[in-house]
């Protein structure tokens, strides 16, 4: 069996050792399970190799952390419905982590939504029950409903996202501010690309949008710019287009 020259072997040991140290510093650990609670965006994110759920798992693995995804997205669901199925879809599966993606359906952009007070109550109960069961929580702010921030539904979404940000801080949850990331990526793309920069229909993510979401989740897990770049390189075969502005800063 061929062996590496001593110098190259030492470099390899140092690189692997550095990778292991950086992985050990992250809150997400090798062998843990992540439940991805959400609506149709999350359901789609787990249903294809280019979906953000699968990209998160691949991105972690590229950095030495083998995690298992527990898909828990259901089309059309709001925070109230997510709370009702929390035990079945997250707690009973012994997840170590849960990412919570809600808000898009709660504002009622297609039909009657969930009032702000009930939205806050439902999200609070979800967080509290997870933490009581030893499940750590990452809150994802709701992405946009149409790629134009001034539209009425995006303006309505502001208050819902502020609740999510406040609860993340109060309950000591990790926060992936995907709404802010999405706005920044669309602004960077410029008016000539307006309309379908990150979504296929204004709501559901295209491959670039899934990369944007996965990058936001990985940043919230504490991955460095170098680690995120390594994650993004691992996505090359799964998703051909890089999300505008998704590189770590």
Tens digit of pLDDT for each residue in 96-122? 999 999 999 999 866 689 999 999 999
Domain residue limits, the chain: 29-234
- Of 15, 109, 97, the C-alpha closest to 63 is 15
Q: CA-to-CA distance for 55 and 59, rounded, in angstroms?
A: 6
Only one residue has tokens 């140290």, namely 21
pLDDT for the residue 42? 98
Residues of the chain above pLDDT 90, percent: 79
Residue 124, pLDDT above cutoff 90: yes
pLDDT for the residue numbered 158:
98
Contact 197, 17 (CB under 8 A): no
Q: What is the pLDDT of residue 110?
A: 65
Domain 29-234 in CATH 3.40.50.1110? The answer is yes
Residue 80 structure tokens: 């109230």
When the pLDDT of each residue in the chain is averaged and rounded to a whole number, the result is 89
pTM for this one?
A: 0.86
């Amino acid at each position: 069996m061929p062996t590496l020259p001593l110098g190259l072997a030492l470099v390899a040991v140092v690189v692997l050792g550095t990778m292991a140290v950086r992985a050990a510093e992250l809150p997400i650990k090798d062998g843990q399970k992540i439940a991805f609670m959400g609506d149709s965006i999350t359901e789609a994110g787990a249903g294809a190799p280019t979906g953000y759920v699968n990209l998160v798992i691949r991105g972690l693995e590229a950095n030495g952390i083998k995690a298992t995804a527990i898909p828990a997205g259901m089309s059309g669901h709001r925070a109230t419905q997510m709370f009702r199925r929390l035990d079945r879809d997250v707690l009973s599966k012994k997840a170590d982590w849960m990412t919570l993606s809600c808000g898009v359906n709660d504002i009622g952009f297609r039909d009657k939504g969930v009032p702000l007070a009930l939205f806050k109550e439902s999200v609070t109960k979800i967080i509290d029950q997870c933490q009581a069961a030893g499940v750590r929580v990452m809150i994802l702010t709701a992405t946009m409903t149409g790629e134009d921030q001034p539209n009425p539904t995006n303006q309505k979404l502001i208050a819902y996202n502020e609740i999510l940000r406040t609860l993340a801080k109060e309950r000591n949850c990790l926060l992936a501010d995907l709404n802010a990331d999405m706005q920044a990526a669309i602004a960077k793309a410029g008016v000539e690309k307006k309309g379908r920069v990150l979504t296929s229909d204004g709501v559901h993510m295209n491959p670039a949008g899934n990369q944007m979401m996965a990058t936001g989740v990985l940043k919230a897990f504490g991955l460095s710019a170098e680690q995120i770049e390594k994650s993004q390189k691992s996505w090359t075969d799964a998703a051909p287009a890089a999300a505008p502005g998704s590189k770590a800063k």
